[in-house]
Structure 1
Amino acid sequence: MATLHHSPFCPHSRFIRLALAEMGMEPELVEERPWERRDAFLLLNPAGSTPVLVEQTGLAIPGAGIIAEYLDETRGLGLSGRRLLPDTTTARVEVRRLLHWFLVKFDTEVTEYLVTEKIYKRFMKSADGGGPPDMGAIRAARANVRYHLKYIGYLIGQRRWIAGDHLTYADLAAAAHLSCVDYLGDVPWEEDEMARDWYARLKSRPSFRAILADRAPGMAPAAHYADLDF
């Protein structure tokens, strides 16, 4: 059995948890607090970031993008029609483009601000950056999420799924990030019905059940967070 070192509200970790679940894999989960820089974890990934997938052989694969590529290389062909990275070059480029959009652009403009300021800082020591939230950062993230939501709605207006006719890594990455923001009640779903309906389809999938069960200690989710019908 593989082991996934993750943080429950790390969107990159959630992305890989969703991907593994869609592939029918049930890894052992080891929760990490990256800011604590645990020595044994740093041996697996000197960058100290989650997620890290460790195979039974001991091979450690760090980082969401690298893990996604590794899983496709080692398990993709066996998934047949459920493959999360398409077969054709053009389609793979589009999935990778959108992966970068959500794992990098959405993360730096939205998720990193909100998760750090509203969740992580509550558990971090002051020496590690803990303390009261930066409301300026939170306001910026809340403003930024609006145009990302409109972009998702635009894509879904042209396609069945974000990157095309089939569910791919792009959908899982986008949903993973939005799920963190949605837990905090900071996604203005009323502003884009297309994006909302797409997310409802995703969070109704069996792979999403564990994500919807996550809870931050002392912080309840938004009332609709685990409601499959919003």
Structure 2
Amino acid sequence: MTVRVGVITFPGSLDDGDAQRAIRIAGAEPIALWHGSHDLAGVDALVLPGGFSYGDYLRSGAIAALSPIMAEVKDAAASGMPVLGICNGFQMLVEAHLLPGGLIRNANQQFVRRDQKLRVENTDTAWTNAFEAEQEIVIPLKNGEGGYIADAETLRRIEGEGQVAFRYLGVNPNGSLNDIAGVTNEHGNVVGLMPHPEHAVEPGFGPDTAAAMRSGIDGLGFFVSAIAAVAAVAA
């Protein structure tokens, strides 16, 4: 079985090609999708990539969350399809109310770019099942509006119900509440995070490690997880 993962391009997306490459390296078939279409082309999973959709006018992800294809994304998410939102894609998912909370300007009001250490908080999702509980990973981060926020009740609920998927370690780069770097929905099929796993999937192009420069491939686990989740449903 060849798992087909759709990557949606929005006006201003810039990491869609990287996401497709990561999917291919992980062993699945990437399918390019367009935001103005209502056709998901029969894919098994979806990635909403990073970038600056609609130039980040209004709020990051707010306009893209109203794109025609998002109606199908919502239906697919409701049916249990794995959906991953990376950076701008995470912003779209919260704006579309597929994930709880919101994202605001970084606390220091500066665009941040760094290789970021994370702790995997939940391994029971479609995008994290290849990791171990509390595993520490390093993947690149680059954002200007990555501060995760939620009201007190929502924060208590997502903490209590295990919906925090990733937490920043070492440094909180954007002032996110509770050091939250990524969250999942209640069913574990929709995940969003600010750092970019697609930039850490191939030796020679990822973060530095103790073994060698640019050898980090911790991001590969996201896409391997989705392939495994789809295969498990099909079995």
**Where on the TM-score scale, by shorter chain, does this alignment land: which range?**
0.3 to 0.5
Quick check: which one's helix share is greater? 1
Quick check: which one's strand share is greater? 2
